[in-house]
Amino acid sequence: MTASNPKVGISTWADFYDPTEFIPGLEDAEYLKVDMVEIPAFTMDLIVNGQINKSQLQRLKEITRKRPFGYTVHGPTAIDFMDDQWRLDLHETVLKASIEIAAELGAVHHVLHCGKVGDEPMPAIDARFARQRERLARAGDFAREHGVVLTVENVWTYNRSRYTALPFRLAQELALIDHDHVRACLDVSHAYINATLHGADFLDEIAALAPFAPHLHIHDSFGRPKDISTFAVAEDLAFGLGDLHLPVGWGSIPWRDVMARARLPRGTIFNIELNKRYWGEVGPCVAATRELANQIRYADETDNDTGASSV
């Protein structure tokens, strides 16, 4: 596989302080012959009060080295450059530590979430976006120094009283930042849910962000915000609510249409984010994701040279 070919990766999980909890997921990834593994740095006690937990990082490095795949890192999900201004330096400190961790682990991409805000007038929201652009550009310089590309993930909100960038707005923000180490992580399911919530055209949103996205998060849902109180995840599934992280094909995302509209950079990583409760379906999910990768259309292609398969 050349550097320009799409790659299939998977997020493996660890919820405990002991890094050996990560080993079974790595072994599964080897068995599945994926190209990449996404490390959930946000769950692994790798940062303490903004500083790298060096002993913990060393243990993780020993576990992850000499594996037959590359790595990406998902940084702390609480990093938010649209937070109140007085807290932004703390967010930046944590992000820098996370970027250094990604570099130590040999990761090519570092995922962080786009910011969220409460119910504010649009001029106030635009000011928060401006602050986010400034901080992301600075973080991009730091990431470049460490050989890591930041990929900003489109997220969602549970209701209309909170706001985050739809993919189209995130594409505009990245164009304004115009930094080769600040790109996008296009989470297809998040786009589906947020487009439904705000009455946007899902496929138009996908098409807008795709050219900025060397990193995809792949999982399925029904594009339905979680607006009913439920007792268990199984009830969320019963009603098709929220960010379910289902195997590809379990939800209602029109994947063929997504791949027809998305013009992606060369070398894009199709990273599967599967809920652990559905890990028994990981094999078919990897196979389905490989089929998606086979349908890729590139941002630098003409309409007469799609490069897509007939699958």
Q: What is the CATH number of the domain that holds 180?
A: 3.20.20.150
Indicate whether 2 belongs to any domain: no
Distance of CA 217 to the CA centre of its chain: 5
State how many domains the chain has.
1
Cα–Cα distance for residue pair 97/93, rounded to 1 Å: 6
Q: How confident is the model at residue 18 (pLDDT cuts 50, 70, 90)?
A: confident
Is 98 a domain residue?
Answer: yes
Position 83 in a domain: yes
Q: What is the pTM of this model?
A: 0.94
pLDDT at residue 306 tops 50: no
| Measured distance CA(216)–CA(293) in Å, rounded | 11
Domain ranges, residue 277: 7-298
86 found inside a domain: yes
Which of residues 304 and 229 earns the better pLDDT score?
229
Task: Identify the pLDDT of residue 172.
Answer: 98
Give the pLDDT band (50/70/90) at residue 161: low
For tokens 């998977």, the residue is 10
**Quick one: what percent of the chain has pLDDT higher than 70?**
95
Residue entry with tokens 């799609």: 306
Residue 270 lies in a domain: yes
Q: Tokens for 135, please give them.
A: 């901080």
**Per the domain annotation, does 308 fall within a domain?**
no
